[in-house]
Amino acid sequence: MRKRYFVLDRRLERFREVLRKRQKDLVVFVENVKNEHNFSAILRTCDAVGVHRVLYYYEGKGDVSINEGISLGAQRWLFLERVYDVSQKLEELKSEGFQLVVTWIGEGSVDFRKVDYTRPTVVVVGNELKGVSEEVARLADIRIIIPMMGMVRSLNVSVATAVVLYEAQRQRQEKGMYDRPSLSEEEMEEIIEKWAFEEIIKRRKPEVRG
């Protein structure tokens, strides 16, 4: 029998609908993106595409900020994990069978549409100024580039993330990967419990009026 939560049935059904489409084996790694607008927009796209886990490295003081007006709360529906030892984490994911697809505006990159994103994949995006670090680029299984035909050599990082993720989404949808859950029933129930609990806490918080 399913557990009961103090959340409307239609809200629970929405949770289940979203979780059934979550892609457990599509991970995004954000390397040192500093601008809160960019980071927040990336999170919103991840949620939209059904990314389950977002890992990030941030070298600034404190933690990266999230702008609610831009993320629209997307971070609440994602597994967001800060990484401190980037190489170790990426090596770990590779040993679990993930391919490391690194965005790289330079030599040796292939058109981003040439990659098979239906395989377990980590998509790596980099810092606004420096891009992805050499250290991470060395670990890449594939380096990808979004072709640029204009005078400017790069896209905004959140735009580039969306372009790549929607190609992954297209390929996965074509293969029916959104029609069969990648999370187990137990995993989904665990997440629903967490989301339902957080929803209640959020409802009980007094509104701050300016």
Ligand X SMILES: C[S@@+](CC[C@H](N)C(=O)[O-])C[C@H]1O[C@@H](n2cnc3c(N)ncnc32)[C@H](O)[C@@H]1O
Residue 19 or 125 with smaller CB distance to ligand X: 125
In the complex, minimum distance from the CB of residue 3 to ligand X, in angstroms, rounded to a whole number:
41
Q: Are the beta carbons of 127 and 104 closer than 8 angstroms?
A: no
Burial class of 122 by CB neighbour count within 10 A (0 to 12, 13 to 18, 19+): buried
Rounded least distance, CB 37 to ligand X, Å? 13
Among 7, 80, 83, 155, binds ligand X (CB under 6 A): 155
Please state, in angstroms and rounded to a whole number, the distance separating the CA atoms of residues 47 and 41: 10
Q: How far apart are CA 173 and CA 6, in angstroms?
A: 33
Contact 164, 130 (CB under 8 A): no
Q: Which of residues 94-153 bind ligand X (CB under 6 A)?
A: 103, 105, 125-126, 128, 131-132, 145-146, 148
String of contacts with ligand X for each residue 31-50, x by CB under 6 A: --------------------
> Where along the sequence are the contacts to ligand X (CB under 6 A)?
103, 105, 125-126, 128, 131-132, 145-146, 148, 154-155, 157, 160
